[in-house]
Amino acid sequence: MQVRIERLGPVIEPDGDPREVEGVLNPAGTRTRDGALLLYPRAVAKGNVSRVGRMRVMQLDGTFSVVREGFALEPVAAYERRASPGYGCEDPRVTFVPVLDRYLMAYTAFGPLGPRIALAQSRDGFAWDRLGLMRFEQPGMPNDDDKDAAFFPEPVISPRGVPSLAFYHRPMLHLSAVDGRAAIPMIQRMPFEDRESIRVGYIPLERALREDAALLDVQESVVVLSPNDAWGSIKVGAGTPPVRIAEGWFSLFHGVDLLDISGAKPKFRYAAGVVVHDAERPDRVLYRSPEPVLVPETAFERKGVVDNVVFPTAIDQRIDLGPRVFDVYYGMADWATGAVRVTLQ
């Protein structure tokens, strides 16, 4: 698959509001029922306290106009707050699910348990109601630190043959969160399939249609994409929610590689690539980028709170420009939000 990338430039930068002083990044995105584009960036206050913003975005003559409309979520639930620094609502992804006739926001709730996947829902994309933490209670499933959740918009078939709602997630290795060089050799000695990988979780559709609480009960979870030696060798994680193309489900994911281990802290590169899943069985991967399609190159991407990061999180299908044209919004060096136009050829 040939992928053309056109950089559209920065979209959102911190504006001086104390609630954005440490960055405004990694946005979710969706179209409202009347066609307006909303982005929901992670806004980071001093002490790494995160909220989910709500911003209306318009493009005119190649430039972006952003109207801040407050916050979709602020850390008020017990599972989103803790006494130690660093907590809140992080890195959301939003998907409109027609069979439910509502928007689902999967986000990282960083609270007393550490990072966990939480879920909120909305009828209009503006007002959001929390459903709670997702539950991974079936035998053999990962049930610990977890991030990068994003829902598929349509029901699929699980590996066990159950019609289900599906979502990406990335269970974490505790050692990969260790801030120092000691963790790197440990990761590099692991088989690729044991490193942090993208999984697809499944929620049976029948129950989800009957009761909202069932959206939290994950019944299956399987690894679909692991690191490899081409790129993304340290870990891989979901990026944008998937969208339907002729070949199947298409999304951008992120992969992390080691740049330098000589200093006090290892230096990494976050890059982005393309994945395509089977339309009915998303556990079957049909295509994976042999090399990244987006790497840190600009000043906004190479220098920030965390250097050398492009982190795709929102995708907007631009039917007005062609059936295989997408605007992708992404975090730039954990500081600002940028956009690229992706064309599949």
- Measure the CA–CA gap between 190 and 187, rounded to whole angstroms: 5
Q: Can you give the pLDDT at residue 183?
A: 85
- Tokens of residue 321, six digits: 């420009």
176-192 CB burial, b ≥16 within 10 A, e <16: beeeeeebbeebeeeee
Q: Can you give the pLDDT at residue 340?
A: 98
Torsional sign, CA 140, 144, 149, 154: positive
Q: Can you give the pLDDT at residue 193?
A: 95
DSSP state of 295: -
Burial class (CB in 10 A: 0-12, 13-18, 19+), 46: exposed
Q: Can you give the pLDDT at residue 178?
A: 54
- Measure the CA–CA gap between 215 and 208, rounded to whole angstroms: 5
243: β partners: 250
Q: Where are the alpha helices (DSSP H) in the chain?
A: 183-189, 205-210, 299-302
Tell me the mean pLDDT per 10 residues along the chain, length 345.
96 96 98 97 98 95 92 98 95 98 98 97 98 96 96 98 98 70 87 97 98 98 97 97 98 97 88 98 98 98 98 97 97 98 96
Residue 47 host element (H or E): none
Rg (C-alpha) for the chain, rounded Å, is: 19
- Measure the CA–CA gap between 151 and 240, rounded to whole angstroms: 9
What are the sequence ranges of the domains in the chain?
3-344
Q: Determine whether domain 3-344 maps to CATH 2.40.110.10.
A: no
Q: Can you give the pLDDT at residue 174?
A: 76
Instruction: Output the pTM of the full model.
Output: 0.97
Cβ(208)–Cβ(165) under 8 Å?
yes
C-alpha distance from residue 313 to each of 107, 148, 180, 219, 328 (Å)? 11, 9, 27, 25, 7
Cβ-based neighbours of 31, under 8 Å, separated by 6 or more: 37, 38, 96, 316
Q: Can you give the pLDDT at residue 267?
A: 93
- Tokens of residue 17, six digits: 């509001």
- Measure the CA–CA gap between 242 and 244, rounded to whole angstroms: 7
Burial class (CB in 10 A: 0-12, 13-18, 19+), 262: exposed
